Amino acid sequence: MAQTGHVMDYQNLLDRIHSAVEPVVNAGNNGKVASYIPELAKVNPLQFGMAIVTLDGQTFKVGEADTPFSIQSISKLFALCLAMHGEGESVWQRVGREPSGSPFNSLVQLEKENGKPRNPFINAGALVVTDMLASRHVSPETALVQFCRKLAANDTLDFDAKVARSERRTADRNAAMAHFIKSFGNLHNSVDEVLDSYCKHCAIEMSCVDLARAVSFLANRGTVPWSGEQLLDVSTAKRLSALMLTCGTYDAAGDFAFRVGLPAKSGVGGGIVAIIPGVAGVCVWSPALEETGNSYAGSIALEMLTTLSGQSIF
Ligand code: GLN
C-alpha cells in the first residue's frame, strides 16, 4: 500500500528492488554496454547500484551506489541548468523543447528545422548548450565540473580524461552534427572547442549517491536542500522537470512516463537520475543498456520504486 514520504522505509524498498533486479543483472544477457565509445565497452556490465537522497537529508543506498561511473548524457541536465543560470529564457531561442521521437544521436530533424535542435537532452541540443557555456566561460568543462561538485557536495569529483579522449577520437557523428548546426549559424564557437568540452562533460564521473544528491535541488523547487541556496527559480525548476519527463530518456520517454512516472534523465554509462518532487533525488546505475540507450536494469528498478512506493507524479 502507498505510504507518505515521511514514513516511507526507503531502505527496505531499495533492498527489495536489489533482490529483484540482481538475477536480471547477473544473467548477463539483458542489454549491452555502450560500445561506440571504446572506453565504455570495457565497463563490467554486471553492476548495480541505487541511491535515494531525501530532502530532509537522509541517504539510502544499495549495491554499488558509491562507485563512480561515467555520467554521459546526465551531464546534459547539469549543462542546461548552468546555461539557464547564465542565459535565462533566451536558451529557447536556440534549442527547442519538444521530444524528438528519434535516437539521441540522430541528425535527421536538424535539416528540416534549420539547425535548431529539438531539445537540450539529445546530443544536438547539448552541443548548442555547450556552445552557450563556451561563450560565457573560459573553460566550460571546468565550470561544469565545479557546478557538479557544488550540487553533489563532493569536491573530489572530476571527468575521466581517458574516457573523454576515447569519445573525442570517435566523435564523428557528433562532429557532423556540430558542423551542420554551425552551418545554420547556431554554433558560435569553433566545432573543435565545443566537441572537446562536450566530451569532457560526458566523461564526468559520479556515483549514485553523488547524483541523487545533485538532483535533489530539482525535487526541491530549485533550492539546494542542505544549503538553502536557490539555484533556479521555482518556475524554471518546474519546467526542467517537465523536460526531463518528456525528453529525458530519449526515444523511450513515453514508455518511461508510462512505466515509471517520474522526471528522469539517463546516460549511456548506464545511469538514470530521477526526482520525486517534494520528496527526494534518486539515481540508479547498471551499465547494460536497452536498445534506446537507457539502462535495462535501471529502468526496471525505477519502475519498481514507483510501483512499490506509490510515489510518482501521477
Ligand atoms: N557522450 C555520449 C554521446 O555523445 C552521450 C550519449 C548518451 O549518454 N546518450 O554519444
Residues 180-199: pLDDT tens digits? 999 999 999 999 999 999 99
Residue 248 CA from chain centroid, whole number: 7
Q: Return the C-alpha cell found at 72.
A: 554521459
| CA 254 to chain CA mean position, Å | 17
How many helices (H) and strands (E) the chain has is answered by 14, 7
User: Is 250 an annotated catalytic residue?
Assistant: yes
CA pair distance 213, 26, nearest whole angstrom: 27
> What DSSP character marks residue 272?
E
User: Predicted confidence band at 47 (pLDDT cuts at 50, 70, 90)?
Assistant: very high
User: What's the confidence (pLDDT) of residue 4?
Assistant: 47
| Alpha carbons 168 and 262: distance in angstroms, whole number | 32
Q: Region 155-160: what's the mean pLDDT? A: 98
- Ligand 1 atom at shortest distance from the alpha carbon of 126: 4
Q: Which residues of 110-134 are buried (b: 16+ CB within 10 A; e: fewer)?
A: beeeebbbbbbbbbbbbbbbbbbbb
C-beta 207 within 6 A of ligand 1: no
Cβ(267) to ligand 1 under 6 A? yes
Instruction: Using most ligand atoms within 8 A of CB, pick from 167, 244, 273 the residue to mutate for ligand 1.
Output: 167
192 exposed, middle or buried (CB, 10 Å; 0-12, 13-18, 19+)?
exposed
When mean pLDDT is compared across 28-37, 63-72, 74-83, 120-129, the lowest value belongs to 28-37
**What would the mean pLDDT of 60-76 be, rounded to a whole number?**
98
Give distance in angstroms: CA of 123 to centre of ligand 1.
Answer: 7
Question: CA distances (Å), 169 to each of 79, 165, 198, in order?
Answer: 22, 6, 13
- Whose alpha carbon is nearest atom 2 of ligand 1? 72
Give the Cα separation of 295 and 284 in Å (integer): 9
How does pLDDT run across 129-156, given as a tens digit for each residue? Answer: 999 999 999 999 999 999 999 999 999 9
Atom of ligand 1 nearest to the CA of 167: 1
Looking at residue 102, its pLDDT comes to 82
Helical spans, DSSP H, in the chain: 10-27, 74-87, 91-94, 108-112, 123-136, 140-152, 161-169, 172-183, 191-202, 208-214, 216-219, 234-247, 253-259, 296-309
Question: What local confidence, expressed as pLDDT, does residue 2 receive?
Answer: 44
Whether 36 is a known active-site residue: answer: no
How confident is residue 160, by pLDDT bands cut at 50, 70 and 90?
very high
Residues of the chain with pLDDT > 70, as a percent, come to 98
Band the pLDDT of 106: cuts 50, 70, 90: confident
Nearest CA to ligand 1 atom 6: 73
Give bridge partners of residue 285 from the DSSP assignment.
Answer: 49, 271
Q: 30 to each of 37, 71, 211, 248, how far by Cα in Å? A: 20, 20, 24, 22
| Cα-to-centroid distance, 231 and ligand 1 (Å) | 25
CA distance linking residue 287 with residue 306, whole number of Å: 21
CA pair distance 49, 21, nearest whole angstrom: 10
DSSP code for 288:
-
Cβ–ligand 1 distance for 268 under 6 Å, the answer: yes
Task: Name the residue with cell 544473467.
Answer: 27
Q: For residue 86, how far is its CA from the centre of ligand 1 (angstroms)?
A: 24
272 CA to middle of ligand 1, Å? 13
CA of 33 to the centre of ligand 1 (A): 12
Judged by average pLDDT, the poorest of 2-11, 68-77, 170-179 is 2-11
3-state secondary structure of 206: strand
CA distances from 220 to 80, 102, 291 (A): 17, 31, 32
Q: Is position 10 annotated as part of the catalytic site?
A: no
The pTM (predicted TM-score) of the whole model is: 0.96
Pair 123, 104: CB distance under 8 Å: yes
268 is a catalytic site residue: yes
SS3 66: coil
Q: In the prediction, which pLDDT does 49 show?
A: 98
Give the pLDDT score at 7.
Answer: 67
Average pLDDT over the chain, rounded to whole? 95
Give 1's pLDDT tier (boundaries 50, 70, 90).
very low
